[in-house]
Structure 1
Amino acid sequence: MTARYSFGGDEHVFVEVDEEMSLEAFFKSLSITNAVKQAGIRGVTEICPANASFQIKFDPDVISPDDMLAELKSLEAAAEKAESRIQTRIIEVPVFYRDPWTTETLMRFRERHQDPNSTDIEYAARINGYATVDDFIKAHSGAPWFVSMVGFVAGLPFLYQMVERKRQIQVPKYLRPRTDTPKLTVGIGGCFGCIYSVRGAGGYQMFGITPMPIYDPKQEISYLRDFMVFFRPGDIVKWKPIDRAEYDDTVAAVAANRYMPKVREVTFDLDEFNKDIDGYNARLEGVLNGH
């Protein structure tokens, strides 16, 4: 699809790369936004990449909206030829599935849910064709997830499962959003996973909680002292199921500034990934585990 451009007032251009999310659409969006950064276009004040789109904020006193549009269209043509590989990180994120805090929360909001008689994870397992919740957890944590966008709430990553489309987990959002979601809840809405960086309202199905902070505006947590937001677009997440004891140990380690996320640098090649998705994912996991 040719990108679709639209103006947002006098200071924004919104660019829809594709109508549906795919890693190909994300890579094109990333290529164009990286090209905007490298081009140093006078008047650009903010670049905001998203799942299959991006938005550019600019100063119309420095560059006119039409000239900004022309610059972006020229960069789109170059992005079509961009390499399908990026230098990024693969990160292990521990998850305490079926934890007591999200369970207590979801039970308070059953009247807003499609199935008031089951938990979120039971509902997700059933509608995705898994016989048991354990089978669902294996599918959720078995393949890595790509961070396609960070935002909406400060530090919140949107995650796209790295499997064939027919195998992707999909779960609708609540019929009406909750007014409460525990901090660091792991969940899914549509085809996107997320980690709630802060406590607040939300509509995604809740499956568990991570003890690993991903946003610290005070920058007191050891691994967030350089920058308050942990994730960035292009990161790859591998969930690690943990039990209550490991959850409590990790929370204590974070509080004592002894915890360090498991992170490895990696080159991700989209063409190679598409040739053998499961094999490529296994190699990524091997890098994470030092194999």
Structure 2
Amino acid sequence: MTLRAPPDDRSPEELLEFGVINLDKSPGPSAHQVAAWVRDRCDVEQAAHAGTLDPKVTGCLPVLTGVATRVSQVFLEGAKEYVSVLELHDEPPGDIEAIVEEFEAPLYQKPPRKSAVSRRLRVREIYELDVLEVRDRQALLRIRCESGTYIRKLSHDIGLALGTGAHMGHLRRTGTDPFDDTDLVTLHDLSDALERWRETGKDDWLREIVHPAERALTHLPSVTIAPNAAVQVANGAPVYAPGVIDADDAERDQLVACFTPNGTAVCLGRMVGDADAETDEVVALERVLV
């Protein structure tokens, strides 16, 4: 078998078959509808988004294309970041910043009735929570939190703590690890780039918009394995210590990404052993990417 070409050497077709697009979702369509449109427009069999956004919510929505949909689980490992308007039901108290800061902690949350997941009580951590501005009965919040946090529920609970009541107003996602809002592109940008490539053969715009899917793995610890070991992994073998060239520090059972020396992603797996051992299994496979 032949391994995938290095990220910088891939043709436009190969890029679309294992790519990621850092989309700026507009209000209106659901995240699922956006992914379906990308799938059809890019003419690939599959596309997957990096975490649900409600139709009215805007912002950072990375979309994986083709075989890259196999890495979608990585977005459950990273954090999400939002900017949200908190609509207060009464005048805010003078100590609003101090009260809001108390929510910077692990919190119990139950998914709303309309959620697609089971409505069981669970814990989600708020890593950072800042009040950026307060004007009349509105507070602008910046929230960095664990994947799966319900900002609508967080807004309701903050309102109770403030004694004013509150609900979530406009919400924009500004980041989903390892992506942020500094290089977002629109669906119109993608459409223009695809049309330019298909009509003229020029792929410069397309390469600015569709990135090798390896970019979606940059926040994970990495393990570099030899090409012959990569061939074995492609056939279902785990990663054994003799095939490991280099490895980042990772805790046991932590999700890691394995690459060949030229930067080609080979698999996702869980760290289960020591890369310095002679024969032991180092990475247990979860997703083969070649």
TM normalised by structure 2 equals 0.22
Structure whose residues are more often strand by fraction: 2
Structure whose residues are more often helix by fraction: 1
Larger radius of gyration: 2
